[in-house]
Structure formats: structure tokens, C-alpha cells
Amino acid sequence: MRRLSARADRHRLAQPFAIARGTREAIDLVTVSIGQDGKIGRGEGAPSARYGEEAQSVLAQVQAIRPAIEAGLDRQGLLSVMAPGAALNAVDCALWDLEAKLSGVAVADRLGPLPGGIVTAITVGIDRPEGMAARARFLAGAKEADGPAPLLKIKLDADDIIDRVQAVREAAPLAQLIADANESWDMALLERVLPALAAARVELLEQPLPAGADEPLEGFASPVPLSADESAHVAAEVEWLASRYDYVTIKLDKSGGLTGALALAEAAQAAGMGLMTGCMLCSSLSVAPAWHLAARSRFVDLDGPLWLAADHPGGSVLEEGLLRAPSGLGWGW
């Protein structure tokens, strides 16, 4: 007999996190636990105001599906009765974790081995150009002498774009750079700033235009590859995305867990698109399943747990410039 429980917890951030939509100093996370035959599978969802979510609404969705889960609903059936979002992510990942613990077969044995470590983007939040330069200089200077070049993700809004990007590039001349506008630009602004981004060797630009207003990107030849983030959720959207974007940014909270995210990744790759694996601000319980996408991705942004004032014991570790892989049958908790 299965039993499902869920709770919401508030987590303080180690420092404010500033993007185009605002600044956050704390986050709410929802943890789902599913018990069966003495084993417990766990999953986490990060409610996003961008998608109309808050902790209580996510908990309500989880409680609504609880009878079906306790009656034996599986992951594929779950996709047909829940919409993609933080609630589906938490339940889906808890089922993956439970399956691994019940069977004794690690998720990595089913989906493929994980690398020992990956280069993850570390976010440089919105600030004055000199403040962003100082953050970039610190992050680039913290890398090991013989370690990989750091990957920095520059958060941007519609102000001081070129000054901010140039300041970060000058402060971190060897770093790989990604820029993320979080839907804050229009097409005219995009066309104006792209040459400067290309000159600063920005390797990827995430979601410059608002989701639903990115039709002008169809057939647009960008000197910097573009990745769909807020526009990309499920596999069924890939055909539309492929003529407008070069990459998809996959986050389990958007795609409804690992099951839906794997389907999105396979569809995107079949359409010739590249992959970026990202995450919301979250704990290592969210990041552990995302590793199975990160292993397939050109770019990885799994620094969410590194922003927390306190993560799970044994959580994400950045070591010698690499984020270290989780161990165990499932997610490690």
C-alpha cells in the first residue's frame, strides 16, 4: 500500500537573487514523499509566480492526486491527468526515486551513467555594471588553476545591456558566457544589442522576447544562438520552437518532472535543437534528477542549490570547478 505526504518549507537565500522580474531573498519549496513496502521516494517542486504558482496551490494539486497515486497510478498515467508544473514535478520525481529504491536498480542504470562532474553556470544577477563585474571577477577568480573555464550566466533586463555584458566580459576574459533576458526585450532591442553580445563572445541567449510574442524569431538569423526557456515546456511544442530557437532550456518544474523533461529532450534533439538543462531556485533534491538531462546537454545551469543559505546535508558540491554528481539509487535522500 502506498502512502503520499507533502509539505511546504521556506528557504532563505544566501544573498538576494535579482532578475528582470524582480529580486528574491527567500523561496518556498514543496517536498512530496511516497512510501511503499518500507521504502520512501522523494521529489521536490519549486512553485513559480511566473506560472501562477505558490506553495499552497502546489500542495492542493498534490493532495488532489493523492488518492490516485496511493491506488497505484504510474508516471505515464500521471502525465495524462496533471498539467506540467511544480506539483507534477514533485510527484513524478518521487515516483522515480521510489521505483529505484523498490527495484534496487539505480536511475542511472536505466537512463545511462552520469559524469563524475559537470560545469554548471553560476548566475551573475542584475546589478550596476560595476557590481556585476565584481561578481564575475570573484567567480572567475575562484576557479582552480587547472580547472575548466567558468560558465557565467548574466541576468539582464532592458537597461544597460551592453554596458553590463561588456563589464562582465572584461572582468572575466576567459569565462564562457550565457545571457538571460527573462522575456524583457522586444525585437528592436534584440536586433540592436545582438552585435555587442556576439562581440563579447556570449555563447547563448535565453528567452529574449516574451513567450507568446516570439513569432518574429521565425527564420531570424541571430549571431548568438537563442534558447527557448519560458516558451518551452513540453515535447508537443518542439515543432513550433524549432523554427525560432536553436536550443531549448529544459527545467523539470516547467516540463512536469523527469518523465516529461526526457520526452522534451528527445523531441528537441530529433528536431536538431541543442539542449540546456536548467533549474529554478531549489534544493539539491530538485537538481539530482536533472542530472540525467544535464548529461545530454551542451549547457548546464544547476546552481539553484548554491543560492540557498542551507541545503540538504550531502547536497550539491562545487569542487575544482565542477558540480559533483549525486550518488545512490535515486536522489540520495
Q: Which amino acid is at 119?
A: V
Residue 142 is predicted with a pLDDT of 64
Q: How many CB atoms lie within 10 A of CB 158?
A: 12
Please name which of 157, 159, 153, 160 lies closest in space to residue 303, comparing C-alpha atoms. Answer: 153
Is 110-324 a domain of CATH 3.40.50.720? Answer: no
Quote the CA–CA distance of 31 and 43 in Å, as a whole number: 6
Residue 148 is predicted with a pLDDT of 72
Please name which of 222, 237, 229 lies closest in space to residue 187, comparing C-alpha atoms. Answer: 222
Question: Do residues 67 and 2 touch, judged by C-beta distance below 8 A?
Answer: no
Q: Which residues contact 120 (CB under 8 A, 6 or more apart)?
A: 151, 294, 300, 301, 302, 303, 318, 323
Q: Which residue has the cell 525585437?
A: 187
User: Which secondary-structure segment (H or E) carries 95?
Assistant: helix 86-103
- CATH architecture, domain defined by 3-104: 2-Layer Sandwich (3.30)
Catalytic residue among 101, 153, 251, 254: 251
Angle at 176 between CA 174 and CA 180, to 5 degrees: 140
Q: Provide the whole-model pTM.
A: 0.95
Gyration radius of the chain's alpha carbons: 19
Residue 1 is predicted with a pLDDT of 87
Question: Do residues 145 and 171 touch, judged by C-beta distance below 8 A?
Answer: no
Quote the CA–CA distance of 276 and 320 in Å, as a whole number: 22
- Beta partners for residue 17, in sequence order: 24
Nearest 10 degrees: CA dihedral of 142, 146, 147, 150? 60
Catalytic residue among 101, 153, 155, 254: 155
Residue 143 is predicted with a pLDDT of 59
Quote the CA–CA distance of 57 and 91 in Å, as a whole number: 14
> Residue 293 is placed in which grid cell?
538531462
Q: Tell me the average confidence (pLDDT) per consecutive run of 10 residues in the chain, 333 residues long.
A: 97 94 95 98 97 98 98 96 98 98 97 92 96 95 67 97 99 97 98 99 99 97 98 98 98 97 98 98 96 96 95 84 85 85
Quote the CA–CA distance of 147 and 120 in Å, as a whole number: 13
**Domain locations in the chain as residue ranges:** 3-104, 110-324
Alpha helices by DSSP H, 104-186: 107-111, 129-141, 161-171
> Residue 234 is placed in which grid cell?
513540453
Q: Which residue has the cell 511544480?
A: 86
Tens of pLDDT, residue by residue over 266-313, are 999 999 999 999 999 999 999 999 999 999 999 999 999 999 999 988
Task: Establish whether 155 is a catalytic residue.
Answer: yes
Task: Establish whether 251 is a catalytic residue.
Answer: yes
